[in-house]
Chains A and B, each alone.
Chain A
Amino acid sequence: MKDKLKLLILSGKGGTGKTTVACAFIRLADSRAYADCDVDAPNLHLACRQTSDPMRKDFYGLKKAYINRDNCVGCNKCYEYCRFDAIYKQGEVYQVDPFSCEGCSVCEFICPARAISMIDSVSGEIMLYRSASVFSTACLKMGSGNSGKLVSAVKKQLYENMEKKSNIIIIDGSPGIGCPVIASISGVDMVLIVAEPSVSGINDMERIIETSRRFGVSIAVCVNKYDTNFKITKEIEDYCNKVNIPFIGKIPYDKRAIYATNQGMSIIDIDCPSGKAVKEVFENINRILDKI
């Protein structure tokens, strides 16, 4: 296995068990460098409890427009040109809705009175935990865009701060197929998809496989809660065989997993069926990573 392989965990559908699997892998691999790229709803810090406080930094996304009322001549041009409905008029005063503003600067450029300037805007917080390992995570500000940029910043922070001799790097991803997911896939060596045996789960798995394939990255699939629907589990396995993606294991539905999570433990910390199964998935993924 080459040094510093980057393994990203995705699912398409939310709530299939990405974070639970990521945390188990981090423990099993004794990973010295890991990250949570689900900046919209981060949870890995709750699963992999940290003993020290993180270093916190504000994350600045694109600058946002600000209208100086003293200079505004009320010509309405900014309102006309904004494609994001971010400019609104209250009485005679034009204002910017910072949640809708995407920071394109068109209004600043178009304003004949130079009443608009672009100002710094915090769109999240980025955290770095350092102990025996390095853990990079972030939290997007409510309602904010820029999630892709923040994901890239989380990864960059991890790569810049980890030890040279870090073994496997584990990255917990976000649900969906859009901006933050695409930002998280770029540059990783392998994507593990945690699927769920339901009509929604298989449908979303196909979409995330298609998304990942565009990056030419290695993909493997495992199924969580496989015993809640044997038929669809089989369909997922058949689908993987058909499209030549390694199907590397099945994890059962396990009430003890909920218990472990709420105790701040990993499923590998307690004696439970899901913990045993995830170890097998981990061994299988190592076999694939060895060949990369």
Chain B
Amino acid sequence: MIRLNIGQTIRKSMEKNIIAVLSGKGGTGKTMVSVNLACILPGAAYSDCDVEEPNGHLFFKPTQLSEKNVDILIPKIDREKCTGCTKCVDFCKFNALAYVGKVLVFEEICHYCGGCTIVCPEKAITETNYNIGKIVQGFFERTKVISGFLNVGAISGVPIIKEIHKQIKEERNTVIVDCPPGSSCAVMESIQASDYCILVSEPTIFGAHNLDMVYRLVKLLNKKCGVILNKCDGNYNPSEDYCLENDINIIARIPYDSELSDINGNGKIAVKESDLYRGVFQDIIKEIEKVLS
């Protein structure tokens, strides 16, 4: 490859990367960081994997929307064929089936493993689609916005996150993945395919404790990562101490700023509203490019 200039090599390396933004603790600024990064990175897509409480769309207010339902397969019992042997009830590890004179299906706790259809000796169980949410895709200017929505009452958003990732794979440009809080299966699913993880933390002992949890998760999966210390107030910052002790790359320190909180609280995008934050996020991208190039 002929190197024309450094900028071009960097752009080359940033052609397609999956960058996950996570935090452990909720409310540290994952969505704020994800939305602004996606907005300032030319051609990048934004995807919201926090399907229980997706918020990115509130900032982008995307248009040209297309929707896709996400269904899981749940059992359907043919009462004519069912002899009441209860083999399916005994087999189901999730207690999604019960027998009270007839077999009852509790759709909301079914894990769609398909086990009951296999164990039924009468072939009385088939499967039928059950809707648990949707994926909505649209555009904000040139940014593609992909959001997952879990229905209220549905238990797990993991099938929706898996669907979003199928779409992420097809993207040709960099994708910013806004992850759910915590460190459970849904987070793991969200960061599996990522090339880089941004951990966003706040200056409290809560933030530092949960940063520790996600940092260990990211290490377990052998992901490259860096930390954004958000809401820095000039006082003691337990999250910063944690990064220094563990030799974790700090890619930015964003001070607590009532203007940013205003912009964000009102559903606006900081890099569109303020030169200061355009600079802050451009610097963050440079830091990530350094690691990925």
Whether the Cβ atoms of B152 and A210 lie closer than 8 Å is: yes
Q: Which residue in B53, B94, B220 is a CB contact (below 8 Å) of A12?
A: B53
> B156 near A: Cβ within 8 Å?
yes
User: How many Å lie between the Cα of A147 and that of B205 in the bound state?
Assistant: 23
Query: Which of chain B's residues has its CB closest to A104's CB?
Result: B113
Closest CB in chain B relative to A245 CB, distance in Å:
16
Chain A residues numbered 153-185 whose CB sits less than 8 Å from any CB in chain B: 174-182
Decide yes or no whether A288 CB sits under 8 A from chain B. Answer: no
A229 to B260: give the CA distance in the assembly, Å: 12
The answer for the CA separation of A13 and B31 in the assembled complex, in Å, is 11
Most chain B CB inside 10 Å of its own CB: which residue of A14, A62, A228, A261: A14
Which of B38-68 touch A at CB < 8 Å?
50, 52-53, 55, 58-59
Contacts of A255 in B (CB 8 A): 233
- The reply to whether B183 and A143 contact each other, CB–CB distance below 8 Å, is yes
Say which residue of A109, A143, A199 sits within 8 Å of B185 (CB atoms): A143
In the assembled complex, the Cα of A106 lies from the Cα of B73 at a distance in Å of 15
A178/B24 contact (C-beta < 8 A), A104-B93, A143-B220 known? no
Interface contact A204-B184, CB-CB below 8 Å: no
B13 within 8 A of A: no
A211 to B119 alpha-carbon distance, docked (Å): 34
- Interface check B244, CB cutoff 8 A: no
Bound CA–CA A196/B264 (angstroms): 12
Contacts of A214 in B (CB 8 A): 152-153
The verdict on A117 contacting chain B, using a C-beta distance below 8 Å, is: no
B156 partner residues in chain A, CB cutoff 8 A: 145, 178-179
Q: Is the CB of B264 within 8 A of A198?
A: yes
Q: Contact between B266 and A258 (Cβ–Cβ < 8 Å)?
A: no
Chain B positions within 8 Å of A46 at CB level: 205-206, 209
A175 to B53, Cβ gap below 8 A?
Answer: yes
- Measured in the bound complex, the distance between the Cα atoms of B233 and A207 in whole Å is 31
Known: A13-B26, A14-B27, A14-B181. A106 touches B265 (CB 8 A): no
Question: Is A50 positioned at the interface, with any CB of B under 8 Å from its CB?
Answer: no
**A262 interface contact, C-beta 8 A:** yes
Given A83-B112, A199-B267, do A148 and B236 touch, yes or no (CB 8 Å)? Answer: no
Q: Of A14, A41, A147, A177, which one neighbours B150 at CB under 8 angstroms?
A: A177
Q: For A204, what are the chain B residues with a Cβ–Cβ distance below 8 Å?
A: 53, 55
On chain B, the residues within 8 Å of A228 by CB distance are 258, 261-262, 265
Q: Which of A43, A83, A106, A182 makes the CB contact (< 8 A) with B210?
A: A43
Residues of A with C-beta under 8 A to B216: 142
Q: Say yes or no: is B217 at the interface (Cβ < 8 Å to chain A).
A: yes
Chain B residues contacting A19 (CB-CB under 8 Å) are 206
- The CA of A40 and the CA of B185, in the complex, are separated in Å by 10
Q: Are A261 and B206 within 8 A (Cβ)?
A: yes
Residues of A within 8 A of B264 (CB): 198
Nearest-neighbor residue (CB-CB) of A147 within chain B: B184
In contact, B118 and A200 (Cβ under 8 angstroms): no
* Alpha-carbon separation in the docked complex, A262 to B261 (Å): 21
Residues of A within 8 A of B99 (CB): none
Name the CB-closest residue of B to A19.
Answer: B206
Interface membership of A239, Cβ < 8 A: no
Given contacts A81-B118, A104-B113, A106-B118, contact A15 B202 (CB under 8 A): yes
Q: Which A-chain residue is minimally distant from B92 (CB atoms)?
A: A104
Max chain B Cβ within 10 angstroms of own Cβ: one of A145, A178, A198, A255: A178
Which residues, 70 to 116 on A, are CB-close (under 8 Å) to B?
Answer: 81, 83-84, 99, 102-106, 109-110
Confirm or deny: A249 has a beta carbon within 8 angstroms of a beta carbon on chain B. no
Chain A, Cβ-Cβ closest to B25:
A41
Chain B positions 233 through 267: 1 when the CB is less than 8 Å from some CB of chain A, otherwise 0 = 10110100000000000000000001001101111
CB of A5 to closest CB in B, whole Å: 25
Chain A residues contacting B267 (CB-CB under 8 Å) are 198-200
A203 at the interface (CB under 8 A from B): yes
A199 to B187, Cβ gap below 8 A?
no
Whether the pair B204, A258 counts as a contact (CB closer than 8 A) is yes
Interface residues of B in 179-228 (CB under 8 A from A): 180-188, 202-206, 209-210, 213, 216-217, 220
Nearest Cβ in chain A — how far from B213, in angstroms?
A: 6
Assuming the A-B contacts A102-B111, A229-B266, are A179 and B118 also in contact, with contact meaning beta carbons closer than 8 angstroms in the complex? no
- CB nearest to A212 among chain B residues: B152
Cβ distance A45 to chain B, nearest Cβ, rounded Å: 9
Residue of B nearest to A99 (CB): B188
CA separation between A42 and B265, bound complex, in Å?
26
Q: Is the CB of B185 within 8 A of A145?
A: yes
Q: Is B91 an interface residue (CB 8 A)?
A: yes
Verify if B10 is at the interface (C-beta below 8 Å from A): no
Q: Given the complex of chains A and B, what is the CA–CA distance between A179 and B181 in angstroms?
A: 13
Q: In the complex, are the beta carbons of B220 and A229 less than 8 A apart?
A: no
Chain B residues numbered 153-178 whose CB sits less than 8 Å from any CB in chain A: 153-157
Which among B94, B182, B238, B265 is the interface contact of A262 at CB below 8 angstroms?
Answer: B238
Chain A residues with Cβ below 8 Å from B24 are: 41
- Does the CB pair A176–B265 fall under 8 Å? no
Q: Mark A204-245, 1 if CB is under 8 A from B, else 0.
A: 100100110010000000000000110010000000000000
Q: List 7 A-B contacts (CB under 8 A).
A: A19-B206, A99-B188, A144-B184, A175-B181, A198-B266, A200-B55, A211-B153
Give 9 new A-B contacts, CB below 8 A, not counting A174-B182, A177-B152.
A19-B206, A40-B181, A140-B184, A178-B156, A179-B155, A198-B266, A200-B31, A228-B265, A258-B203
